[in-house]
Amino acid sequence: MATIRTGLAALLLAAGAAHAQPLTTVRLAQGLTRPVFVTAPPGDHSRIFILEQRGSGGVSTQAQIKILKLGTGQINAAPFLTISPVPPGFEQGLLGMAFDPQYAKNGRFYVFYTDFSWNIVIARYTVSQDPDIAEPGSAQVILSQAKQFNNHNGGWIGFGPDGYLYAAIGDGGSEFDPQGYGQSLTTVFGKILRLDVSGPGPGYAIPPTNPFFGSPTERQEIWAYGLRNPFRCSFDRATGDLFIGDVGQEVFEEINYRAHGTPPFAAVNYGWRCYEGATASNTTVGPGGAACSSITNFTFPIHAYPHGPECSVQGGYVYRGAAMPALRGTYFFADYCSAKVWTFRYTGGTVTELTNRAPELATPGQTIDAIVSFGEDAAGELYICDQNGGEIYKIVPRCWANCDGSTGTPLLTANDFQCFLNAYSSQNPYANCDGSTGSPTLTANDFQCFLNKYANGCT
């Protein structure tokens, strides 16, 4: 036994710090209709809310929010909210949701969707006397913006640590930002907006610390600009830092960043359409506009990766839960086209420990291959929305030897050996126990690694 455990320690050391806490996923739901986002009310550890983008209930122009009870794993038969009609475009429909920080007291929540006229709409609702049902007649439109094209809507909304509502809106659509909206300060397109929605009625107020507060020419809602399609963003719940996943045109995908405490009156310009990543993309800010070379205030992404198998970044979250303590402070993100999931740490202006987690998250018999979003529950645990199969997965720590995912006693049985052999023979990434990246990836070392992990048990 001592020899086996020594072998295990050596294998873990060789795998490196990034593999010190292996991960897997547990499927919580399937058969949903285009699940696009998962969230939960502050302090509510009993439920997660799942957004169906469109097609809910077999109606192509209907979107719904559904509640999954974490205690039972069951989805309520009645939807929390239905929004109709929504358009059928690939990037259209119900896209985002945010609970008011005081939701337990005021029952307010916000949704981001595109209506049937292609307008971008942010609306506020309140919950009914039944905590599992929204009050359908409570809708108040906070913002409505007409659009010419059906793509690049953005879609994320979230409350910052300052209590204001932030909204990420794309550049208006088509390709290469033909109107030059990303660099224009007279439109909300290609921006992150910062809104005061604390009032009782529809609409919003402008926070007095917004960069262009009181300006007669610039849109006063603007907090940051130069974005193409910031579909998924998040605040680090521990630090208040903002991470922005911005989908690229044809060269790079981006993760942009803004530290909490950066003076809000200093608007950040993330570069589009002049830059894609840190690479020049256009020579002017728009048709007949200023030369990009005349602008010096660009802020480039903290991480960018080129197109290839990858083509559409899905921004995620900094993990702050309790189940995976070694990964606290690690940022998760993914790519829709390749279904890769990565993590990194960002400290002192430097990205470290960049790791592809997709092989770890692979579970025998299940495929996660259309990642459209991550989600975060009230405890800081993370979820994945997979639109193929309409599935919701929870990211959890892996006891690698428990290959068959059983929950009985004993946890580890002979079935786990057979499961591992099946995974190895089918070249399932799960069988890459030692984390090697050579060719072939699966070798006899993986058998020894699995035996060592089995002998060490699940602790």
Tell me, what's the pLDDT at 15?
33
Cα separation, 37 vs 95, in Å, equals: 7
Domain count, the chain: 2
**How do residues 41-51 score in pLDDT, each as one tens digit?**
999 999 999 99
Amino acid occupying residue 284? T
Residues 217 and 182 grouped into a single domain: yes
Tell me, what's the pLDDT at 150?
95
Question: What is the overall mean pLDDT for the chain?
Answer: 92
Residues 391 and 429 grouped into a single domain: no
Q: Which of 368, 397, 426 is the last residue of a domain?
A: 397
Find where tokens 């204001």 sit: 164
Residues 239 and 291 grouped into a single domain: yes
**How do residues 107-128 score in pLDDT, each as one tens digit?**
999 999 999 999 999 999 999 9
Cα separation, 277 vs 303, in Å, equals: 8
Residues 151 and 178 grouped into a single domain: yes
CA pseudo-torsion sign 104, 110, 111, 115: positive
Cross-strand partners of 393: 27, 384
Cα separation, 94 vs 326, in Å, equals: 35
Going by pLDDT thresholds of 50, 70 and 90, the confidence category of residue 366 is: confident
Going by pLDDT thresholds of 50, 70 and 90, the confidence category of residue 325 is: confident
Per-residue H/E/C for the chain: CHHHHHHHHHHHHHHCHHHCCCEEEEEEECCCCCEEEEECCCCCCCEEEEEECCCHHHCCCCEEEEEEECCCCEECCCCCEEECCCCCCCCCCEEEEEECCCHHHHCEEEEEEECCCCCEEEEEEEECCCCCCECHHHCEEEEEECCCCCCCCCCCEEECCCCCEEEEECCCCCCCCCCCHHHCCCCCCCEEEEEECCCCCCCCECCCCCCCCCCCCCCCCEEEECCCCCCEEEECCCCCCEEEEECCCCCEEEEEEECCCCCCCCCEECCCCCEECCEECCCECCCCCCEHHHCCCECCCCEEEECCCCCCEECCCECCCCCCHHHCCCEEEEECCCCCEEEEEEECCEEEEEEECHHHHCECCECCCCEEEEEECCCCCEEEEECCCCEEEEEEECCCCCCCCCCCCCCCCHHHHHHHHHHHHCCCHHHCCCCCCCCCCCCHHHHHHHHHHHHHCCC
**How do residues 326-344 score in pLDDT, each as one tens digit?**
899 999 999 999 999 999 9
Residues 355 and 370 grouped into a single domain: yes
Average the pLDDT over 148-173 and give the result: 98
Tell me, what's the pLDDT at 14?
31
**How do residues 77-92 score in pLDDT, each as one tens digit?**
999 999 999 999 999 9
pLDDT at 393 over 60: yes
Find where tokens 């830059």 sit: 275
Tell me, what's the pLDDT at 431?
86
Closest CA to 267 of 312, 314, 207, 318: 207
Residues 351 and 426 grouped into a single domain: no
CA pseudo-torsion sign 243, 336, 436, 366: positive
Residues 392 and 456 grouped into a single domain: no
Amino acid occupying residue 288? G
For the chain, report the end-to-end CA distance as a whole number of angstroms: 16
Considering only 58-72, 122-136, 412-426, which range has the smallest mean pLDDT?
Answer: 412-426
Going by pLDDT thresholds of 50, 70 and 90, the confidence category of residue 401 is: confident
Q: Which of 369, 397, 425 is the last residue of a domain?
A: 397
Q: Which two tokens mark 214? A: 């009181």
Residues 380 and 451 grouped into a single domain: no
Task: Judge contact between 117 and 141, C-beta under 8 A.
Answer: no
Closest CA to 123 of 131, 133, 132, 113: 113
Residue 350: CATH number of its domain: 2.120.10.30
- Higher-scoring residue by pLDDT: 326, 392: 392
Cα separation, 411 vs 407, in Å, equals: 6
Tell me, what's the pLDDT at 459?
63
Q: Exposed e or buried b for every residue in 335-350, given b needs 16+ CB within 10 A?
A: bbbbbbbbbbbbeeee
Going by pLDDT thresholds of 50, 70 and 90, the confidence category of residue 4 is: very low
Going by pLDDT thresholds of 50, 70 and 90, the confidence category of residue 407 is: low
Residues 74 and 213 grouped into a single domain: yes
**How do residues 185-195 score in pLDDT, each as one tens digit?**
999 999 999 99
Residues 94 and 2 grouped into a single domain: no
Task: Judge contact between 376 and 317, C-beta under 8 A.
Answer: yes
**How do residues 409-450 score in pLDDT, each as one tens digit?**
888 999 989 988 998 998 887 788 887 878 898 999 999 998
Percent of the chain with pLDDT over 90: 79
pLDDT at 246 over 80: yes
pLDDT at 18 over 80: no
Amino acid occupying residue 364? P
Percent of the chain with pLDDT over 70: 95
Tell me, what's the pLDDT at 13?
31
Tell me, what's the pLDDT at 9?
32
Task: Judge contact between 192 and 167, C-beta under 8 A.
Answer: yes
Range of the domain at 210: 23-397
- Higher-scoring residue by pLDDT: 206, 402: 206
Q: Which of 397, 420, 440 is the last residue of a domain?
A: 397
Residues 258 and 311 grouped into a single domain: yes
Residues 311 and 443 grouped into a single domain: no
